[in-house]
Chains A and B, each alone.
Chain A
Amino acid sequence: MRAQPLLRVNDLKKHFYIPTGLFGQETIEVKAVDGVSFDLNAGETLGLVGESGCGKSTTGRTVLKLYRPTSGNVFFDEKDITSIPGEELNKLRTRIQMVFQDPYASLNPRHTVKTIVSEPLVIHGLMKGAELDERVKELMELVGLNPSYMKRFPHEFSGGQRQRIMIARALSVNPDFVVCDEPISALDVSIQAQVVNLLQNLQERLGVAYLFIAHDLSMVKHISHRIAVMYLGKIVELAGRHEIFDNPLHPYTQSLTSAVPIPSPKMERKRQRIILKGEPPSPANPPKGCVFHPRCPIARDICKTEVPQIAEVQPGHFAACHFAGTPIQDT
């Protein structure tokens, strides 16, 4: 492992301002991402999990600067991409790529597979002509598609195949880092496994680092080295993948891990579930103090007033909770 992480995200915030009122004279501030920090090493996979609306996708997009961050820094290879000029950022885009959730919407329906896969290469003027053709063929084989399909249009492929096209495209420029935004959640179970295996094999072969955003905890555990759990715009816990399941410190993580179904009837019968009450509040109107306190089974008075800071509770295991590690009694 290198001394410096490939990606260092420092107190990243992304707030959206939504005009309301009859004439849009007032704005609601939605703190989609509210002070997120993490590192990612070369060749590593960091899983980012959370429920819908927790800001995990916004985090991924802000890290890529598809959204302009409200504040905070994103250091990629020691360069702060939040402040570098557009030209330089565009050059960096050859090293940072993204795979999107919906393989039906993320491929331009009017472009052939070849055009789609080669677009990043063409944009950056890296290849053309026969060399480009060769590269597209090579990429299609790499992701398990028949190269003779390269003149076809996306609608001629199934969902899993489209996601392979998307992955081939992202890998075309040999990136160091790929943000995978829910890359499998639109796919069927047997196809999910194909895509996850492909991503893992490609990481082994090419040494690419992933930020793997998903809501499916068991899949995230399977593919990630470390996992960050988000709740309402904040990372509430970050640890190694086994650590986070075997020894969750934050009560939210504890309930999440207990809620994930295990495909074994015997285990399921033995399990103790921590079922949270209520639902996540709106990020437009987050609770005071710890954002989790209204649903938290162990909340006390301090949680209603003071925001817990994320801290390294155990080596390499971070949590943002005043009472990190307190076991939850069955409710």
Chain B
Amino acid sequence: MANKSISHGADSRLEIESTFKDRLSYLGRLLWRDRTGVVGILIFTTVVIAAVFAEFLTPYKPLDQDLYASKMPPMWEEEGSPEHPLGTDNLGRDMMARIFYGARVSLGVSFFGAIIAAILGVVLGAVAAYVGGRWDEIIMAPVNLVLSLPYLLFVVFIASVLGSSLLNVILIFGVTNSPIFARVTRGEVLKIRESAYVESAISAGARWWRVLLFHVMPNLVGPLVTLISFQISAMIFYEAGLGFIGLSVPPTVPSWGNMLSEGRRYISSYPWLTTMPGLAIMYTSLGMNLLGDWLRDVSDPRTRRSGR
């Protein structure tokens, strides 16, 4: 027997056993290579920290009024003071505290909204793709209908019917965003089902549920995580939009949308009342977009290695 061909080839590429440290440094290089991803992660982390540790980061409560110190400009302006770094609003509430606490609403609504949308959409899309035929049509018809509606108008309509509460907003975002997840999931599942490795699993004797669980689902994670991060970014916008027209959380809750809405009246005389929450929205949304881009590249092991 020609044993030579069975021996381990002198393989210059795989000669070195990779250790945990190697992998860590590899991840580091990966991050460094895509510096925008690092920026995205940094932005996202700062927003999460601001939201979670708001109590510790600022001595003020978002609803504490101090009429003596109302309409104070940010500290870098002439009349500003370091006590209220981002100034105060018309009722003397600390802007920084309101933005930090407001991040809770923005992140909470968009995060839970996106999760609900993802769960609903993945189930619908997977069933449509997997069962196919009649069920595909029954599921995808309303999905496509919703996707063809002007989104903001649709959301405004539902929100005005249901009334404003935190739970309502989350549910509205969850339901109205599920169609995009359904469509993406359906497309991905159909693609994965056609792949050679699924064919290979079937030829090895795998049943449908095994194919779904071990082959389809893991390959869905990448595209879904990416979509979720983009959707979170979009929902931060839409939540602010709803807040601006008074259809998001009740006006007593500090949210970026509500702040914009309240500050609108003073936009010419006290511009920081609108620019500060506006900047917060822009900052967070930028971070999520950068993160999403990075996740799209990283989540695919094929593009991860070579970048070619």
Is A17 an interface position by the 8 A CB rule? no
Judged by a CB distance under 8 angstroms, whether B203 is at the interface is yes
A107, B197: Cβ atoms closer than 8 Å: yes
Q: Tell me which residues across on chain B come within 8 A of A198, comparing CB atoms.
A: 5-6
Q: Select A105's contact among B14, B195, B206, beta carbons within 8 Å.
A: B195
Are B203 and A66 within 8 A (Cβ)?
A: yes
Interface of B is mostly: helix
Question: Contact between A144 and B7 (Cβ–Cβ < 8 Å)?
Answer: yes
Answer whether A109 and B196 are a contact pair too, CB < 8 Å, given A93-B205, A98-B203, A123-B206: no
Return chain B residues, CB-CB under 8 Å to A64: 203
Q: B83 near A: Cβ within 8 Å?
A: no
CB closest residue in chain A, given B217? A110
Q: Are A110 and B8 in contact (CB under 8 A)?
A: no
Residue of A whose beta carbon sits closest to that of B306: A155
A157 and B6 contact, CB distance less than 8 A: no
Residue B207 is within 8 A (CB to CB) of chain A in the complex: yes
Contacts of A157 in B (CB 8 A): 14
A106 touches B200 (CB 8 A): yes
> A residues within 8 A CB of B219?
108-110
Chain B residues, CB < 8 A from A201: 1-3, 5-6
> Of B11, B199, B206, which is within 8 A of A100 by CB?
B199
B6 contacts A123, C-beta separation under 8 Å: no
Please give, as numbers and ranges, the residues of chain B lying within 8 Å of A173 by CB-CB distance: 204
**Interface residues of B, Cβ cutoff 8 Å to A:** 1-3, 5-9, 11, 13-14, 17, 195-197, 199-207, 210, 214-215, 218-219, 221, 300-302, 304-305
Write out, one digit per residue, whether chain A residues 185-218 have a CB within 8 A of any chain B CB (1) or not (0).
0000000011001100100110000000000000
Q: Please determine whether B199 and A66 come into contact, CB atoms closer than 8 angstroms.
A: yes
Taking A148-B17, A197-B2 as contacts, is the C-beta distance between A105 and B197 under 8 angstroms?
Answer: yes
Cα distance, A107 to B301, chains bound together (Å): 12
Closest chain B CB from A37 CB (angstroms): 22
Are the C-beta atoms of B197 and A156 separated by less than 8 Å? Answer: no
Within 8 Å CB of A193, what residues of B? 5
Candidates A110, A123, A144; contact of B9 at CB < 8 Å: A144
| Chain A residues packing against B (C-beta within 8 Å) | 64, 66, 90, 93-94, 96-98, 100-102, 105-111, 119-120, 123-124, 142-146, 148-149, 153, 155-158, 161, 166, 169, 173, 193-194, 197-198, 201, 204-205
Q: Which one, A66, A90, A108, contacts B197 given CB within 8 A? A: A108
- Add 11 more A-B contacts to A123-B204, A155-B302 (CB < 8 A): A105-B196, A106-B196, A106-B200, A108-B201, A108-B218, A123-B201, A124-B205, A161-B11, A161-B14, A198-B6, A201-B6
Find out whether the CB atom of B200 lies under 8 angstroms from the CB atom of A110. no
Q: How far is the CA of A106 from the CA of B204 in the complex (A)?
A: 12
Residue of B nearest to A196 (CB): B5
> A161 CA to B13 CA in the complex, in Å?
11
What's the Cα separation between A148 and B196 when bound, in Å? 26
**Minimum C-beta distance from B295 to chain A (A):** 15
Tell me which of A109, A119, A149, A205 contacts B204 (CB under 8 A): A119
Residues of chain A within 8 A (CB-CB) of B201 are 108, 119, 123
Going nearest first, the 10 A-B pairs with the smallest beta carbon separation are: A93-B205, A106-B196, A197-B5, A120-B204, A105-B196, A108-B197, A110-B218, A98-B203, A144-B6, A90-B205
